Amino acid sequence: MKNRYIPITAIVVVFAIAAVAGFLFPPAVQDNPARVVIDNSGGRVVFTHFVHADEYGYDCADCHHDEIGQDRPVACGSCHPAAFDEKFRVEHQQSFSSDEACLRCHADVPVAPLADEDRPDTENIPLRADAFHGQCMSCHESDGGPYGEDSCYECHAR
């Protein structure tokens, strides 16, 4: 009767060792994320970041414009939010590692809450959905990816 517990105990021990090893030795952080999920009103897009960067050969600056004095490109939503609302105004400066990035949109590095007349003209900064769509469609048109009215669901989930 007791012999039947030996295989079960062995399996539990193996899983416990695997769990401890996974905790003690986490996988290395990838340079390029495998996928980026983009939520939007046209249907969620699962962008294959790794494929576009490593297999198609696009450089970071092809999509991220430039690296704004940072080691790595900033997330798209740091400059192109879903909406220019109060949450964005309060939180976006935390995305940048240097004041140099402020000068992309601001005349000077802000040191206090800005008066309305000192804020950047957000009419000329595309929101996240518009920035993604413009960037993706221009590359798809020029490089032969899915393009045109009939190709929406090649990228957008229904």
**pLDDT of the residue at 148:** 82
Residue 146, domain member (yes or no): yes
Residue 21, domain member (yes or no): no
d(CA 75, CA 65): 11
Residue 70 has pLDDT above 70, yes or no: no
Residue 15, domain member (yes or no): no
Residue 71 has pLDDT above 70, yes or no: no
Residue 71, domain member (yes or no): yes
**Total tally of structural domains belonging to the chain:** 1
Q: Which residues form the domain of 149?
A: 36-155
pLDDT tens readout for residues 82-114: 888 888 888 888 887 778 778 878 888 888 778
CATH number at residue 40: 3.90.10
pLDDT tens readout for residues 1-27: 578 889 999 999 999 999 999 889 887
Residue 72, domain member (yes or no): yes
Residue 64, domain member (yes or no): yes
The arithmetic mean of pLDDT across residues 56-76, rounded, is 74
pLDDT tens readout for residues 135-158: 888 888 888 888 887 888 888 887
Residue 59, domain member (yes or no): yes
Q: Which residue has the higher pLDDT, 1 or 57?
A: 57
Task: Bin 156: left if φ > 0, else alpha if -120 < ψ < 50, else beta.
Answer: beta
Please tell me the pTM assigned to this model. 0.62
Element (H, E) at 47: strand 45-47
**pLDDT of the residue at 43:** 79
Residue 9, domain member (yes or no): no
One-character DSSP codes across 53-118 = IIIS---HHHHH---TTSSSPPPGGGTS-SS--HHHHHHGGGG-SSGGGGGGT-SS---SPPPGGG
**pLDDT of the residue at 31:** 67
**pLDDT of the residue at 28:** 73
